[in-house]
Structure 1
Amino acid sequence: MNDNAEQQPLTVTTSYPESLLAQAFVTALTHEDADTRQRAEARGQRWRQVLSAMTAGRVTVGSRTPVTGYPAWVTPEVMRGGFSTGAVSAGGPLQAHETDAARTFGVPAERRALFAYCLTEPGLARLWDLLDSGGYEIGVPEEAALLTVAWLVRHGESDAAADLVAELEPFADRLRFLPRPAVASASAAGAAVHRRTVSDAVDTLVRRRPNAAVEAQREALAVWQPFGDELLVHWLRNAGDGQVLEAAPDADWLARGQALLGRYRVLAEQHTLCTKHRKPKENLGILRGALEEVVAGRPLEARRLGLLRHAVRSMVQRRGLPGSEAHTALRRGQADHAARPSHYALVQLMLGRLAVLPQDGGITDVTALLGPVSGEESRETGLPAGAVVPAGIGQAVESAMSAPLDTLVERGVVPSAEMMAELVPQLVAAATAHAYGDEALRGVMAANYRAFRKRRSLLLLDLAQQVRVEELPWVRAVSGQRSAVLGASDDEGALAVLRQVGEVAVQAFPGTLLPNPLVREFGVLGRNCDLGVPFVEELAADIFMGTFGPKFLKAARVAAELLRGTLYERYYGIDYAAIRNLAIVTAGQALTGSAGARSHPGFAALCAERAAVTSRHWSVAANGMVIEQAQILTTHNLATLVDRVGIVPRSGWADLAAECFVTVCRLTARVHHNPRPLRTIKDAAYAWRQMMFYLSLCPPAEQRRFLAGLEAETGRHPAQVATRLAPVLAGLALVAEGAAFGEDGTAEAGRARRFTGWTTERHWMR
């Protein structure tokens, strides 16, 4: 289920929460990892809260105000699928910082008392100090409310402050409006973003324990192999030119043997990782056991003597005589290997380096942290100077790198569009806050936005929209303070950020559908630019009910203006002129008030007609076909990014198309012998559609060169890829030559096919 989609079923039952509760219950009982069992138990408890709240009527599933008694701006606690638990994120017992504040303020440890104190002169003075220092943290948006009140009072906006207090006051006893103190100062940040914090990297490294097998091998090389050589040399001294124990040992030999056995006992007590030396059938165990018998004055029985002589002989034959050139080279290499610092020791070194950094931010200079062991560190830790930090440790550190988004993508710190979407709110927070002229207010609004973007989407009915950040009362209260002109020449403005993020997303992940969290951030930036840019979400087929919001037709109009007369229009059999006219008529009707604003039945009917969905019965597959046609008509935001935002990839459109086709081939290869290939086929069709979009922006000569190289690319993949894609390539060649598909999306008796991912029947690519 897609949490972010703004379309829904007519009714919502308890079956989905019940299934997730069952999964959590099984995991909590059966998983081998204790931490996983504990997390599953907590998750199961929250699902029980969801079911209890639903059956008791304490939540309204599908509403923007799901928790009874709270307005839409209050942050609900939301589980997977958009189900509310009935609790709110800023509610619950007092947190530690609230208890500490009550003690400091000299008031009862109650939220209403804290709220009232913050409205007094001393309370406002404390909030003003936080505003000036930035020494606060906003965990949930509500924690920015009192800071905003304080800012309004200090700047003479008494009426706005009073109105805000009046709106907050009914919830003062239940919600947490006080910010959390923090060492690091809150700010609007800048172009640098980070995927994880220094603290996150530390937590990852702290969990790494010594590898028992590796450490046992290190002990064997450093301790037991050299000791075994000493035992072997001792026995060889007895043998002389013959075999061991052909001559009776003399007193000196026995004394040295006694000393060796004493050393063995010390070593065995100090070095316990390797146990091979204790095994009586191993060569070292045979040599040591025989020496104990001889030193004790007990003659060896024939079998044991035979084992001893065989062990001595095999050790010499395998590695050479101790002291020989070959044996010395072998032991030198093993000693060098054993002398290398352990992974665990280098982890401790890195933890020491990270400890001096601010823990709540990213790492700006990763290169310095990943340098070899310095002389000073060598003296402090005993690690050899110049020892190199392993790649595994480096990856944990690099995951907290703070750098421009494109740098993180190039370095592999951000390997997917979904992960990139997690970082974009940091940039959007800075761009959003930049609109405020006052620095302290910028810090509050940036921190508020970052907290707001952690709010999980609700399952909504009737095309209702998710709550937007501008609906929060404290954001509304300072909306008049927005002074920067965004989207013009300001490099830090929303349009610049939108263009930057759009280019990085398309350049780095050309064959990936833009994920909904990223689309949501695009929408925020578009509103901040005041450009009227329509961005549309990926709708979920399992909860789609056949309607589209007005923005889908607006997005299709943008695509029509960009792609009319192109290869894309011909390949997908679109009449973009008709779509543009429909959008113009609809816009005119909206101005006169004769058209509804919540949905557009004409666009939905067009998508259903193009999908050839005839059944009146509800079907996930049929829904998917209709949604796919909407994505085809709108290009799923690509046309908007190109035509309205003005993105231009550095590598050019043809290169993006080529990368998309590589993705198509790679995904098609996964279909072979896949018992559940439909998701892979859909992803391949999405990548193909994006390839068609990029290709359609290329001049004709470049298109011809691209088409000529497709067969060579399929040849770089398993043979079944070329077989499966043959109808697709034939269809593209046919359209490029000026022909067209039939109404069923095929041509030449099925030899050529239009590539789409959804179907109510068995997909031909399986």
Structure 2
Amino acid sequence: MSEDQTHTASPGYATGQLARALARLVESGDQGALRKIRQWEAVLAGMTSGNLTVGSRTPVAGTPAWVTLEVAHGGFATGEYLAEVPLTDDETAKLLRLPDDVPGETDRERLNLWYLGDAGQAELLAALRTGHYRVDVPEDAALAVVALLLDRGFAEQALDLVAELRPLAHRLRFTPRFEPVARTSGTAVRLATVSEVTGSLREVVMPQQIAAMRTTLSVWNPLYDRLVALWCETVDGDLPYLEAGSVRGGWPCRRQPEGWADRRAHWLADYASADRPVSGRHAHPRSNFARLHAALRNSDTLSARDVGWVRRAIANTVTKAGAPGSTQRSQLRDTQAAVAALPTNEGLAGVLIDRLGRYPADGGLSSLDRIAADVSDQDTRDVPAGTPIPVALRDKAARALEAPADELVRRGVIPSGEVLATVLPQLTSRLMSSGIEDPVAAGLYEQTYTAFRRRRSLLLLNLEHQVRFSELPWARALSVFRVSTRDETAAVRRALRQVTMLAITEFPHAILPNPLVAELGALTGRAGLKLPLVEEVAADIFMGRFTRKWQDAALVASRTMAGTLYSDYYDLPGESTWTGERKTTWWNRRRTADVFGELCERRAREAGLPKWRSTAGNGAIIEQSQILTTHNLAVLVTELDLADQVRERAGELAWHTFDWVVRRLTQPADSGHAALIQVKNAAYAWRQAIFLLSFATPEQQKATVRKLGTHVHDVGIDSWFRPAVRGLSGVLRGERFDSAGTVHGGKRFLGWAVGEHWALSARGPAVR
């Protein structure tokens, strides 16, 4: 590709996603697929008409970068604005009360312009001072910032902001949502609000099989026993029973006790009023229940054959469960009734919903003690007191628990780096606003930043970057309130170190996910640091180029990891490799790391890199970029002075990561593609383990690798994974991999391969 060309996205991906959504709707009737269908239809229509340029940071024609867009899976903008919403009931009521002279061509424009007047500004300022507002989408804060600027004497900045907002005032909501309860702020974070947790609990329903079983036990078994008893009344002699497969005993239909016809009619009426289909084994057309029921309906016209089937049915049930009224049958029904009366998860979820109803819907929980306590007499649901709340339901409620991030990690509420990234904006926003002395402005900044971090990332091509918070006109305007202090910088640095160590120590097997990298990047900027943090690049959209920060990160890795196990295992180049002249390409005016990209491509040949571009080839190049940069680990550990903390736990963390690799590789894969993903993730974790092990003592390193070899043998993957262990052992003995990534029967373990991966080839069929 020549340097004056740019890449554009193909509609093929969107077409495939639309087809999958349609298939899902047809196969399962999942109504959630309707929303996806609408999104992908909008994407394709926009790409066809030219209104959407997928891959651009401003994909919607005529739309500023700061507008929050609806983004479908994969980063495809649909063309919809998230702040372009219908009026709420409160807004509609307010609109009806507005004076006739309020200008505006649309209802939304009239409301927005009213809030620029004295009365509207007064309402906004009152909400800001009390905290009775919520910013759900960043645009919600825009006019509140205008009101605050005017109130604090920054009229020029306010007018400039209004000028930027005015072209979209007829479409977008620029005001916050007003709430009667103030939003809390502090060091705690939460994964979900009380309202969101309540919504997930409402989705807890009884499985169809369990519902059918309970219906059988509570409705149809009692009716069945009455039906059997009715027919037993007609038997002349002993009740029929089975002996060696043959029916013995008396015959039914030989006598009709007084009142039998009335009891028959009563039973048939109760059956008809049951208002639900027969369930369980009783529903089978050849079941005892079905035969006895059919005979009861036609009792006046039974043939000798029909009477024989009645006799057989009575014999079956009497032999198996005892005669009606017998101790055997009564004990069985008592046991079944107790099972049917057991509380269900649906009922217990209702208990939690009632308890959560006492808390603000958009808030969190300071403690789980009252929420997760056993059912008491004070609970209104029909659940026996003393019933414990199941762990699965407690875990759902725990998503609303407000606590420090490390506590939520220990509780398992935050199970991964990806989830950690979703809650960090709550903490980051407070730190980012800590340099604003005006508490009202700080609160508005905090909510705006948190809402901004909820924006979904766009698919970007040609080395473009995501929209930054500072590009929001109202966020930029809030900077007039900022007074940077040393205390603020120190607090941000402490938080940055804590979050980094939390991610490394709690999820050592996982590379830092892009959302977490973004949050760490925001913190480094506020901490006065400029760290070259790099994102994971998707192999299917990789354009073959890297920006300068990748080369800067590789420089840090080569310098700090020189002479370590990591450097020896992955053959890191020397520091001088990265100190050459920087090159700027004129066509995009972005610094590109040409030396870095060329080296990644050469090193990727170990994976069998072809001469033409492919997803696997791109993946091999990207993996080399992660190897050369340690994917942020060297930069963070070195620049944040965390080496001593990592060294204290290096052996333990490395072993936990190796153990994760082994456990991951022992799991069966659902498909060939799943097996490839399994190997890739294992190799990425392997790289993390080697980085951590590099901080351990030589004795710890050797002991860990010996333990790894034993573990691999014990779990049964030694026959095909032994080359990876041998390769690592060889490096510890001072040997080095050749250009093909081999050493004395050992192999360097990489995640990507062009063609069949050596590990999968040796492993053989392991797909479920």
TM over 0.5: yes
| Cα deviation, residue 570, structure 1 | 0.9
Quote the residue 1:370 is aligned against. Answer: 372
Quote the residue 2:155 is aligned against. Answer: 158
Task: Measure the CA separation in 1 of the matches of 2:115 and 2:572.
Answer: 61
Change (3 A) 1:123 1:8: farther
Change (3 A) 1:205 1:240: same
Structure with higher RCO (Cα < 8 A, 6+ apart)? 1
Query: Which of 626, 638, 653 matches 1:631?
Result: 626
Read off the aligned partner of 2:343 and give its amino acid letter.
Answer: P
Quote the residue 2:711 is aligned against. Answer: 713
CA contact (8 A) 1:217 1:274 kept: no
CA deviations 1:169-207 (Å, max 9, x no partner) are: 3443444322222344345x3333333332223333334
CA contact (8 A) 1:257 1:291 kept: no
Change (3 A) 1:219 1:731: closer
Task: Measure the CA separation in 2 of the matches of 1:679 and 1:217.
Answer: 40
Task: Measure the CA separation in 2 of the matches of 1:112 and 1:701.
Answer: 71
| Cα deviation, residue 693, structure 1 | 0.3
Query: Which of 643, 652, 655 matches 1:655?
Result: 652
CA contact (8 A) 1:486 1:529 kept: no
Quote the residue 2:278 is aligned against. Answer: 274
Q: How does 1:494-513 map to 2 (within 5 A)?
A: 494-513=492-511
Q: How does 1:129-278 map to 2 (within 5 A)?
A: 129-187=126-184, 189-229=185-225, 232=228, 242-243=238-239, 253-255=257-259, 258-259=262-263, 261-263=265-267, 265-266=269-270, 268-270=272-274, 272-274=276-278
Quote the residue 1:334 is aligned against. Answer: 336
CA contact (8 A) 1:495 1:526 kept: yes
Task: Measure the CA separation in 1 of the matches of 2:559 and 2:668.
Answer: 36
Read off the aligned partner of 1:609 and give its amino acid letter.
Answer: R
Read off the aligned partner of 1:625 and give its amino acid letter.
Answer: A
Read off the aligned partner of 2:601 and give its amino acid letter.
Answer: A
Task: Measure the CA separation in 1 of the matches of 2:269 and 2:69.
Answer: 65
CA contact (8 A) 1:212 1:273 kept: no
Change (3 A) 1:25 1:557: closer
Task: Measure the CA separation in 2 of the matches of 1:170 and 1:234.
Answer: 81
Quote the residue 1:41 is aligned against. Answer: 37
Q: How does 1:256-335 map to 2 (within 5 A)?
A: 258-259=262-263, 261-263=265-267, 265-266=269-270, 268-270=272-274, 272-274=276-278, 282-284=287-289, 302-321=304-323, 326-335=328-337
CA contact (8 A) 2:647 2:695 kept: no
Read off the aligned partner of 2:757 and give its amino acid letter.
Answer: H
Task: Measure the CA separation in 1 of the matches of 2:307 and 2:295.
Answer: 8
Task: Measure the CA separation in 2 of the matches of 1:321 and 1:758.
Answer: 68
Structure 2 counterpart SS, 1:376: coil
Task: Measure the CA separation in 1 of the matches of 2:292 and 2:756.
Answer: 70
Change (3 A) 1:159 1:692: same
Query: Which of 715, 721, 727 matches 1:725?
Result: 721
CA deviations 1:366-405 (Å, max 9, x no partner) are: 342233332133xx44432223334454444334443333
Change (3 A) 1:571 1:316: same
Change (3 A) 1:59 1:486: farther
| Cα deviation, residue 346, structure 1 | 3.4
CA contact (8 A) 2:470 2:476 kept: yes
CA deviations 1:678-710 (Å, max 9, x no partner) are: 333222211111110011011112112101101
CA deviations 1:329-348 (Å, max 9, x no partner) are: 32321121122234443343
Read off the aligned partner of 2:288 and give its amino acid letter.
Answer: N
Task: Measure the CA separation in 1 of the matches of 2:550 and 2:618.
Answer: 16
| Cα deviation, residue 443, structure 1 | 1.8
CA contact (8 A) 2:564 2:694 kept: yes
Quote the residue 2:360 is aligned against. Answer: 358
CA contact (8 A) 1:98 1:178 kept: no
Structure 2 counterpart SS, 1:659: helix
Read off the aligned partner of 1:530 and give its amino acid letter.
Answer: G
| Cα deviation, residue 35, structure 1 | 0.6
CA contact (8 A) 1:21 1:48 kept: no
CA contact (8 A) 1:9 1:543 kept: no
| Cα deviation, residue 16, structure 1 | 3.5
Quote the residue 2:754 is aligned against. Answer: 760
Which ranges in structure 2 are unaligned for 5 or more consecutive residues? 241-249, 761-768
| Cα deviation, residue 734, structure 1 | 0.9
Percent identity, aligned pairs only, is 35
Change (3 A) 1:312 1:623: closer
Structure 1 counterpart SS, 2:591: coil
Quote the residue 2:555 is aligned against. Answer: 557
| Cα deviation, residue 421, structure 1 | 2.4
CA deviations 1:573-624 (Å, max 9, x no partner) are: 1134435xx34x669x99xxxxx86223232233333334986643433333
Change (3 A) 1:115 1:290: closer
Quote the residue 1:3 is aligned against. Answer: none
Structure 2 counterpart SS, 1:71: coil
| Cα deviation, residue 637, structure 1 | 1.0
Quote the residue 1:688 is aligned against. Answer: 686
CA contact (8 A) 1:621 1:759 kept: yes
Change (3 A) 1:352 1:87: closer
Q: How does 1:568-579 map to 2 (within 5 A)?
A: 568-579=566-577
Quote the residue 2:639 is aligned against. Answer: 644
Quote the residue 2:406 is aligned against. Answer: 406
Q: How does 1:596-635 map to 2 (within 5 A)?
A: 598-612=591-605, 617-635=612-630
| Cα deviation, residue 305, structure 1 | 4.1
Change (3 A) 1:232 1:486: farther
| Cα deviation, residue 508, structure 1 | 2.8
Change (3 A) 1:282 1:485: same
Quote the residue 2:124 is aligned against. Answer: 127
Read off the aligned partner of 2:193 and give its amino acid letter.
Answer: T
Structure 1 stretch 329-338 or stretch 259-268: which is displaced more?
259-268
Task: Measure the CA separation in 1 of the matches of 2:276 and 2:702.
Answer: 69
Task: Measure the CA separation in 1 of the matches of 2:545 and 2:434.
Answer: 37
Quote the residue 2:764 is aligned against. Answer: none
| Cα deviation, residue 44, structure 1 | 3.0
CA contact (8 A) 1:28 1:40 kept: no
Quote the residue 1:469 is aligned against. Answer: 469
Task: Measure the CA separation in 2 of the matches of 1:215 and 1:320.
Answer: 26
Read off the aligned partner of 2:656 and give its amino acid letter.
Answer: E
Q: How does 1:539-554 map to 2 (within 5 A)?
A: 539-554=537-552
Read off the aligned partner of 1:73 and give its amino acid letter.
Answer: W
Quote the residue 1:703 is aligned against. Answer: 701
Task: Measure the CA separation in 1 of the matches of 2:25 and 2:385.
Answer: 48
| Cα deviation, residue 41, structure 1 | 3.0
Task: Measure the CA separation in 2 of the matches of 1:65 and 1:332.
Answer: 68
1:73 aligns with 2:78: no
| Cα deviation, residue 646, structure 1 | 4.5
Change (3 A) 1:112 1:551: same
| Cα deviation, residue 248, structure 1 | 9.7
CA deviations 1:271-305 (Å, max 9, x no partner) are: 635356687854345556667888xxx69754444
Read off the aligned partner of 1:337 and give its amino acid letter.
Answer: V
Task: Measure the CA separation in 1 of the matches of 2:540 and 2:253.
Answer: 88
Structure 1 counterpart SS, 2:691: helix
Change (3 A) 1:258 1:510: same
CA contact (8 A) 1:24 1:40 kept: no
Instruction: Give the length in aligned residue pairs.
Output: 735
CA contact (8 A) 2:181 2:360 kept: yes
Task: Measure the CA separation in 2 of the matches of 1:500 and 1:262.
Answer: 73
Read off the aligned partner of 1:754 and give its amino acid letter.
Answer: R
CA deviations 1:448-498 (Å, max 9, x no partner) are: 1122122233344442322211222222222242336477686xx332332
Task: Measure the CA separation in 2 of the matches of 1:250 and 1:262.
Answer: 19
CA deviations 1:13-67 (Å, max 9, x no partner) are: 543455346526743773431514422431233223321442xxx4555444343
Which ranges in structure 1 are unaligned for 5 or more consecutive residues? 1-6, 591-595
CA contact (8 A) 1:653 1:694 kept: yes
